Amino acid sequence: MPERSEANAKEATQNFSKKEQNPITDNGDSKSKSGITFAAQDKLPKLPIPDLEATCKRYLSSLDPLQTAREHHESERAVDEFLKTDGPGLQEKLKSYAEGQTSYIEQFWYDSYLNFDNPVVLNLNPFFLLEDDPTPARNNQVTRAASLVISALSFVRAVRKEELPPDMIRNQPLCMYQYSRMFGTARIPTESGCQIGQDPNAKHVVVLCRGQFYWFDCMDDNHDLIMTEKDVSLNLQVIVNDAEETPIQDAARGALGVLSTENRKIWSSLRDLLGKDEGSNNSDCLNIVDSALFILCLDYTEPKSSSDLCMNMLCGTSEVEKGVQIGTCTNRWYDKLQIIVCKNGSAGINFEHTGVDGHTVLRFASDVYTDTILRFAKSINGLAPSLWHSTSPDPSKRDPESFGDVNTTPHKLEWDMVPELATALRFAETRLADLIGQNEFATLEFMSYGKNFMTSMGFSPDAFVQMAYQAAYYGMYGRMESQYEPAMTKTFFHGRTEAIRPVTEESVKFVRTFWGENPAEQKIETLRKACEKHTAITKECAKAQGHDRHLYALMSLWQRQVDADYSIETSTSRDPYSSSTNGGWNSPTGEHEADPNSSQVSSPNRSSMLNDESGLAPSTSPPRNGQHSLPSIFADAGWDKINNTILSTSNCGNPSLRQFGFGPTSGDGFGIGYIIKDGSVSICASSKHRQTKRFIDAIEAYFIEIRKLLRQGHRRGKSEDKGASRAREAEENRPRGQRLKSRGRVIGADVATGKTPQDESGVASDDEMGGYGFFDAGMLQAALKSKEEGERAEKVAPRREVGKRLRLMEY
């Protein structure tokens, strides 16, 4: 096998033609060379294990801004002891373990997800909200759903035929393994943790409508589409009509999808009940759902606001009528990839997060959205380009015998509702309604500026927005908290993410300067330094040189030894918590998967690695017996502090998405998904009723205020928008005195910058700090400083009497 390196991976991709690398430039050449999708897999470099001392240094640096001097001193002592005792030994064990693995972190990663026992809804599964179809006539449910299904199937075909061009960053191919795990995949709960099951030859989709299940085949054994968009539309309309014949209250009582929202062990026992008799009706129905390419959810509601739409895509709506749940929360199956389409055509994606990250599903969502537009364009102009290098033969012109054994007519799954299932369904629904009621959502679609303005001012857009979260939170609560952002590491073989810790000494200095009575220049300078630091950390994490994943792997190895010793003491044959020994449903660790009889035992159940788009709060697991003391670095309070993520953030999106989000990371935290577009920023925040709308308003106010500060120091005449014509600059430089071209009064925007007219001070007429305008930021900073230093409040002068003094009546 060739050596794994970035250069060899890049060369493997460049061996394919430009048309194969970018099919959209191809106008109809159906000849394709399969294999480009995974061409670089065997040459991608393996995820490197960072140096232990460097990891510990980064860890302490991330902790410092969150701690008092005394707390940080204790953490330094714990780290120093770790480096002298347990650390080096664990590091050597990790290096030895990694030699036989695809990645040193991968198995621990899967275990952390699959051993999670709480409901996946609102805890693990993220969502995407797609933009509406640009052709309004197509924004009705059946038409939009059929279009999305055809585009999704075309994507599946491209993956299976290995014609999907690989993801690239600066001409460097990324790992494409996750795409092989997207379709026909299901999360299967068992008594000893979940498993990932997959039918790689799945060719049917399951449709959920009013809680009722339907299915039909849509691909053949050669992975070609066997239905046109018109055929799919007809099927979906028939399904909707059939589902509406059952009163919503009656349908809700048999909406088995709600069981997928249960605690995983409870769901496992209920699945055992459904599938206990192999070949029975319920067992067959369950297998059809599990093995489907994906789930299509047709909702009967029409959410109007952005926050309601986000809620619907993440967890569904909860609406109880006459004691029966009739909300869309029962019209879901959270163990699989779901495409959700509302009555008015609004659409989104909810995905099971174990095997795929947001970046992977974003590519799927983007390509699906793009394909719907290009197919519509092709119906107008046959020369319009296609997103795919090759397409399926026209189903309407194929020989019927060529389709093979397929069922294109919709079939309704009719479950046998035994009393135990009916009771379990009722309890699952009430628990889900509780869970939905415990969370709230707020969105911001900030249209005043976006990426173009930020970059024109010399800032990294992501770093710029990350500082907004810190400043807004500090303005509300007067303190810095642990913040998290994932960085993609797919430049490595089976790479997933590394954790960025955005709170730094530089960001703390900026936030305190921003809220103090300081000149605009000083505020902007500290912002610039904070953003530069954030960008530097992001680059390190993208190279897998962070501290979170490395330390988590070391803790997992320590836990593995504890579990092994505990297993010997109790004479057990295998670790009951391991997901890698569950009846053949191994975690998807790839072609170099380790022997199940090796030391693949589970890692601690929850960790900071679950803070990606899923938003889980981490915790450490105590040792199983008294013979093993927790390594000092993990026993220190700093480990819990940094892993108790209050602001869990993720930047994932492009113009095909309207919103992206996930549930809150902890009871006192926020889950923040955001998309930075050229001229806007979209944010979806969730929390367990922590004044989410107020927090969103604070972020918006910060954006307005920081723009005002930037404009004060911005050189007049320089365009703020990269998309603006430079003809304005030519006009500004044109010699004066040309009679005809100088006539008239200049109106509207600043001709040089495109800005709105400014007041006499040179500052744009933005509002002040919105909700913060009622107090002086300097007073806030002074109060906070006084609190931090423990100063006593100064004595105040005796209060004078104000107002008319009333006489007490004498009795």
Residues 6+ apart with CB under 8 A from 176: 37, 38, 40, 41, 164, 166, 167
Query: Which pLDDT belongs to residue 137?
Result: 80
Q: Cα angle vertex 231, ends 230, 233, to 5°? A: 65
Exposure of 318 in the CB half-sphere (CA atoms within 13 A): 17
Distance CA 13, CA 692 (A): 45
Residue found under tokens 């492009």: 654
Among 502, 564, 572, CA closest to 535: 502
Partners of 216 in the β-ladder: 205
Query: What is the enclosing helix (H) or strand (E) of 72?
Result: helix 69-84
Environment class of residue 26 by beta-carbon count within 10 Å: exposed (0-12), middle (13-18) or buried (19+)?
buried
> What region does 427 belong to: left with phi over 0, alpha with psi -120 to 50, or beta?
alpha
pLDDT mean values, one per 10 residues, the chain (811 residues) = 70 67 54 77 96 98 98 98 98 96 95 94 97 87 97 98 95 96 97 95 97 98 96 98 95 95 96 87 96 98 95 97 94 98 97 95 97 91 91 93 94 95 96 97 98 97 98 97 97 97 98 97 97 98 98 96 74 37 36 35 38 46 60 98 97 95 94 98 98 98 97 63 66 62 61 43 40 45 58 49 63 45
**Helix, strand or coil, per DSSP, at residue 240:** helix
* DSSP, residue by residue, 172-208: EE---GGGGGSSSEEEEEETTEEEEEE-TT--EEEEE
Is residue 794 within 8 A of residue 783, CB to CB? The reply is: no
What kind and span of H or E run contains 129? strand 127-130
CA dihedral over 627, 633, 638, 643, signed as positive or negative:
negative
What's the pTM?
0.85
Pairing mode, strands 204-209 and 347-350: unpaired
Nearby residues of 807 by Cβ (< 8 Å), 6 or more positions away? none
The predicted pLDDT at position 582 comes to: 36
Positions annotated as catalytic residues are: 353
User: 542 vs 169, 536, 547, 660, CA distance in Å?
Assistant: 11, 10, 12, 22
Query: Residue 442 pairs with which residues in a beta bridge?
Result: 685
C-alpha span between 334 and 99 (Å, rounded): 35
DSSP structure class, residue 383: T
pLDDT at 5: 73
Query: What pLDDT, on a 0 to 100 scale, did the predictor assign at position 367?
Result: 97
Q: Confirm if 497 and 486 have CB atoms less than 8 A apart.
A: yes
Between CA 136 and CA 140 the distance in angstroms is 8
Helix, strand, coil tally for the chain in percent (to 5): 45, 10, 45
DSSP state of 764: B
pLDDT of residue 790: 52
In sequence order, the 6+-apart residues with CB closer than 8 A to the CB of 83 are: 52, 53, 56
Name every residue whose Cβ is closer than 8 Å to that of residue 113 and which is 6 or more positions away in sequence. 124, 194, 353, 354, 610
Determine which helix (DSSP H) or strand (DSSP E) holds 445, and give its type and residue range.
strand 440-446
Contacts of 378 (CB under 8 A, 6+ apart): 384, 386
Strand 185-190 to strand 193-198: parallel, antiparallel, or no bridges (unpaired)?
Answer: antiparallel
List phi, psi (to 5°) of 25: -85, -5
Exposed, middle or buried, 254 (CB in 10 Å: 0-12/13-18/19+)? middle
d(CA 371, CA 225): 15
Residues 761 and 725: beta-carbon distance below 8 Å: no
